[in-house]
Structure 1
Amino acid sequence: MSESAGRQEIWVEKYRPERLEDVVGHENIISRIESYVEQNDLPHLLFAGPAGVGKTATSVSIAKEVYGDDWRENFLELNASDERGIDVVRDRIKNFARASFGGYDYRIIFLDEADALTSDAQSALRRTMEQFSNNTRFILSCNYSSQIIDPIQSRCAVFRFSQLSDDAVAAQVRNIAEREGIEYTDDGVDALVYAADGDMRRAINSLQAAAATGERVEEDVVYGITATARPEEIEEMVTSAITGDFVAARSVLDEMLTERGLAGGDIIDQLHRSVWEFELEEEAAVRLMDRVGEADYRIAEGANEKVQLEALLASVALEN
C-alpha cells in the first residue's frame, strides 16, 4: 500500500491491536486475560476505565484469540446507550445466543457503554446473562463501574483500566509515525502526549490530523490542530492571577477563548492537570484547586464559561 493510500485510512482502526499481546499499557490485565483464554475458561468480564485506553481493543482481541478467522461470526458488539432501547438489545442478544454454531463452547457478546443503562435495564440484562450463561460470555465496558448494579458486577471478573502512561502513548505515536513515514520532532511527540492525556485514540487521531497538514509534526502544529493550550500559557495565566495581576491573567484567558476558540471546559481540565506542576505553595495550590472544582461544576451546570473562568482568576487574584 502506498503512503498516500495509507493516509486515507483511519489510523485508529488501521493500528488497532490484532492480538492481546499488542495491547499496550495494561500488562497485568492482559496477562490475566491471556490465562483465561489459554485455559479456555473465560468468565463474564467487566472493563471499567476512561475513553481510549484499550477496553474495546482488548475485547476484540479476545475474540480474535478465541475464534481466529471465525471471530466475526461469534462476536456480537452492541452499544448499550443505543436509542432503540434495552428491549431491542435483549432481542438481538437472544437471537445471537440461540443461533446454531459449531466448534465452540460459547459465543461472546460485547456490550459497550453499559453504564448508560438504567437500573431496570441492567436488571433485565442480568436475567438475560443468567438465561444464556451456558453458551454465551458477556464483556461489559463502562467508564464508571459504580454505575453498574452489584448483581452484574458480582457475575463478572472486573478489570479497571487506568489512563495510559505518557511513555506508552509516546512509544505508540513514534511507532505509527515511523511506519507511515511521517517526519516528527521530539517536541511534537511531547505535545501529542500532553494533548492526549492518557487517551491513545485521541493521540493517534491527533497524529493523523497533524500529518494531514503535510508539515512536519511539531509542537506548533499539534497544539493548533488539537485546540489545546500550551502548558506554559496555563502557567502564565495562573501565575499572573496569583501575583495579583488580574488584567494580565484575563488577557491570556481572553486570547485562548476568543482568538483561538478553546473550550472553557478544556481549559479547566488543563488547569486541573497542571496545578501541582506550577511549584506553588501548598496553601495556594489547595485554594486554586478549590476554585477549579467550583468553576467546573458551574460550567457543567450550564453557566457561562468565560464568566466562570474570569471569576476563578479574580478570586485567586483577590486572595493574594
Structure 2
Amino acid sequence: MQAFLKGTSSQSVKAQKPSSSSSSSGGEKKQRAVPWVEKYRPKCVDEVAFQEEVVAVLKKSLEGADLPNLLFYGPPGTGKTSTILAAARELYGPELYRQRVLELNASDERGIQVVRVKVKNFAQLTVAGSRTDGKPCPPFKIIILDEADSMTNAAQAALRRTMEKESRTTRFCLICNYVSRIIEPLTSRCSKFRFKPLANDIQQERLLEICGKENLKYSKDVNGAVLFIIIHEIGLVITGIEALVKVSEGDLRKAITYLQSAARLNAEQEITEQIIIEIAGVVPPKVIETLLQTCYRGAFEKLELAVKDLIDQGYAANNVLNQLHDVIIEEKLSDKQKSVIAEKMGEVDKCLSDGADEYLQLLSLCSVIMQQAAQNT
C-alpha cells in the first residue's frame, strides 16, 4: 500500500512538473526582452513624430485607400521605414498585412536578379480578400525597398519597367539616405518626401515618454534649476537626457538605443551625462578642449604627445574630427583662418576614409590649427 502511494505521489509530481515548466516558459515569453526601438515604433501614421508634411499626405491617401509610388529620403533614424510600415498596417489591417507587403533591405541581395525574379513575381500577383473590420481595402500591394541607394544602376533600371507595368496591382516605396544615388527615371515616377532630422524638443519629449513607460526616474534641467520628476519608487535617475539628444544628432533610433543601453548598464545607479558620453563613444568635451589649448599654446613636442595619448585612449579619429569641426566654428579666429582649417579637415576626412593612419592625420590637422592660431599671437 505504501509502495502504491509512493508510486502515485511520484507520478503526480512528474505530471505536475511539465505544467509548471510550461507556465514558466509562458511567463518567460511574456517577459522576453524587446529592443525599445521596436517596442516604441509608431503603430499608426499619427504617432510619427515631426514629419508633418509626410503625415498629412499619407493621411489623405489613407482616407481614399490609395497611394502613389513613394520615395522617402533623409538622415537615418528619422522615421522613414516606420512611417511606411505604419501606413501599410492602417491600409491592410493585421490580417492582410503579410500577404500584401514585401519588404526588402540592403542585407538582401540587391542585384538585377532580385528585381527580375523576387520583385517582379510578387508584383504580378493579383490581390484578393477584404478586411474583416469592414474598412475599405485597396486593390494593390506595397513593395518596400529599404536603403534603395545601395542598389546597382542595372537593378534600378530594371525596376523602372516593373513600376510602370505593374502599376495597377502594386505600389513601390523606395527608402534611401541619399536621393542623388537614385536614377532620375525612378525619382520622376515617385512622390518624393524629405525626412528632416528630429528637433531637440521632439526627441526630448519622446525620450521622456519612454522613461515614463519604463518606470525610470529622471531629472530635467529647467531654467538652471533641477526639477526631479519621480515616475516610480524603484527606477533610475537620468540626468543625461540633454546629453542623449546632443549625441544622437537628430537620430531618434540612436537616442533610444543609447537610453536602453544606459538603463541596462546602470540598473541601480544614476545615469549621468558622463555615462551617456561613454556609451555613445563620443570624445568628452574636456579632451577636445585640452587638445585645442595644446594647439594654441603648446610646443610641437607636446602636441605629438597629446595626439598620441588621444589615439592610445581608443578615441576614433572621425569622432575627434567631427567634434573639432563644431568647436572650431565657435572659436575666435578669422574667416580666412577657419577656411584654411576646414579645407584641411576635408583632406583629413578623405584620407581617413581611404584607410590612412589616424595618428598622422590628426597630427597633420592639429599642426595646421597650431600654425593658424600662431598668427593671432
Q: Normalising by structure 2, what TM-score?
A: 0.77
Contact 1:237 1:250 in 2 (8 A): no
How far apart are residue 87 of structure 1 and its match?
1.0
Write out aligned runs for 1:41-56 (5 A). 41-56=66-81
Q: Which stretch shifts more, 121-130 or 238-247?
A: 238-247
- Count of residue correspondences: 317
Write out aligned runs for 1:180-199 (5 A). 180-186=214-220, 187-199=239-251
Q: Which stretch shifts more, 239-248 or 186-195?
A: 239-248
Are residues 97 and 306 of structure 1, via their aligned partners in 2, closer, same or farther at CA, if it must alter by over 3 Å? same
Which of 160, 174, 178 pairs up with 1:140?
174
Contact 1:271 1:292 in 2 (8 A): no
Higher RCO, 1 vs 2 (CA within 8 Å, ≥6 residues apart): 1
How far apart are residue 94 of structure 1 and its match?
2.4
Q: Which stretch shifts more, 284-293 or 295-304?
A: 284-293
Structure 1 position 15 matched with structure 2 position 37 = no
How far apart are residue 235 of structure 1 and its match?
3.6
Structure 1 position 291 matched with structure 2 position 344 = yes
SS of the aligned residue for 1:212 comes to helix
Give the Cα–Cα distance (whole angstroms) in 1 for the partners of residues 300 and 64 of structure 2: 63
Write out aligned runs for 1:53-92 (5 A). 53-69=78-94, 70-80=96-106, 82-83=108-109, 85-92=111-118
Contact 1:81 1:117 in 2 (8 A): no
Structure 1 position 305 matched with structure 2 position 330 = no
SS of the aligned residue for 1:66 comes to helix
Write out aligned runs for 1:188-267 (5 A). 188-213=240-265, 214=267, 215-243=269-297, 246=300, 253-259=307-313, 261-267=314-320
Match of 2:194 in 1: 160
SS of the aligned residue for 1:192 comes to helix
Which of 123, 128, 146 pairs up with 1:97?
123
Give unmatched runs, 5+ long, in structure 1.
none
Are residues 165 and 315 of structure 1, via their aligned partners in 2, closer, same or farther at CA, if it must alter by over 3 Å? same
Match of 2:165 in 1: 131
Q: 1:149-203 CA distances to partner (integer Å, 9 max, x unpaired)?
A: 1100000001111222222222211111221112334440111112111111111
Match of 1:30 in 2: 55
How far apart are residue 98 of structure 1 and its match?
2.8
CA RMSD of aligned residues (A): 2.4
Larger Rg: 2
Give the Cα–Cα distance (whole angstroms) in 2 for the partners of residues 7 and 284 of structure 1: 55
Q: Which stretch shifts more, 305-314 or 267-276?
A: 267-276
Give unmatched runs, 5+ long, in structure 2.
1-26, 131-137, 221-238
Q: 1:257-296 CA distances to partner (integer Å, 9 max, x unpaired)?
A: 322x221112222233443344544333323222211110
Structure 1 position 114 matched with structure 2 position 148 = yes
One-letter amino acid of the structure 1 residue matched with residue 143 of structure 2: I
SS of the aligned residue for 1:151 comes to helix
One-letter amino acid of the structure 2 residue matched with residue 316 of structure 1: I
Are residues 171 and 245 of structure 1, via their aligned partners in 2, closer, same or farther at CA, if it must alter by over 3 Å? farther
